[in-house]
Amino acid sequence: MNKEELKVLEERSAKGDSEATNLLANYHINTSDSDSNKAFELFSLANKQAFEQEKVNIIKAYSDSGIVLNSPLATVYVINSKEDEKTLVDNINKGHTHDILSLAIVYYEEKKYTLALEYLNKALDQKLFQAHYYLGLMNYFGLGKTIDYLQARNHFLSVNDKVAEATYYLGLIEYNGFLGKTNFPAALKYFNEAINLGSQNATYFLGVCYYYGRGGLAINYVKAFELFSQAAKDKNPEALNFLGVCYFYGKGVTLDYKAALFYYNQAANLNNAQALYNAGYCYQYGYGTNVDLAKAKALYQKSASLGNNNAQNALKLIN
């Protein structure tokens, strides 16, 4: 596909042509320098442009391509109503086996874990690899079954080269010693592999390891700051909050209370309980801003409602 043809498709897509958008998405999968994130964005757009006429099957596109999934939720088939759920069931009955995974994920998101397990196992029978990730989560967190870290590990291993978050969870299993003893070298290996696959959670967690000197790593505030900055580009609320912490205490970067408050507010806007408390503290005592007790109190209240103990204690003092 030459540049002129691409331009025509882009113009058609901008006018709401789902067929053109779908062709662009396939181009980004099949080109030599494939861009999975761009492909997913385009598949999602095509799905919105013509949901009733042409339900774009995101899962099948990713399954067939074998490309890396930076986010497990990139496999979610868009479900807008019970009628759409019924459509999936009808499609499965017509032999559209790739919709088995779509329906399994719907049940997982709706916390209907018994049904999710049933359809995830059916999806495995159809060799739909993303099912391993969700089965890994269900074993890891004990959703609809008892916690089984060994089974979780086996499922995550089946997709750790394709689903970034599966590789991240493999790192957590080794880091926390859930299979008997901690294995920090293995954990760090998985975290770095997950980062290379695009996991913001692994990027943030490795930053925490460098910040506190955990996992056998020496404290390195500069490295921690770099990792938090990387994860924050994807709006990771924990990473945004930690950037605020780095600026507030001058760890890995020059102390800057205004910058600290900026990042606290960014994370607070994403309902991060600790960031809400940290921002409230800045407003209460005038760090990076003028003292504003009303705003501090409002932030503490929201943080406390999310279970933050520091905010609950601060409210007793500010009242």
pLDDT at 155 over 70: yes
Q: What is the pLDDT of residues 29-52, one digit of tens each?
A: 555 555 555 655 665 565 555 443
pLDDT at 318: 83
pLDDT digits (tens, 9 = 90+) for 199-226: 999 999 999 999 999 999 999 999 999 9
CA R_g for the chain: 23
Measured distance CA(226)–CA(220) in Å, rounded? 10
**Residue (of 243, 237, 313) closest to 281 by Cα position:** 313
Give me the pLDDT at residue 43, please.
54
pLDDT at 58: 41
Q: List the domain boundaries for the chain.
A: 1-56
pLDDT digits (tens, 9 = 90+) for 249-276: 999 999 999 999 999 999 999 999 999 9
Confidence at residue 10, expressed as pLDDT on a 0 to 100 scale: 80
Name the nearest CA neighbour of 73 among 49, 115, 47, 37.
37
Question: Average pLDDT, whole number, for the chain?
Answer: 84
- Residue 25 CA to residue 41 CA, distance in Å, equals 8
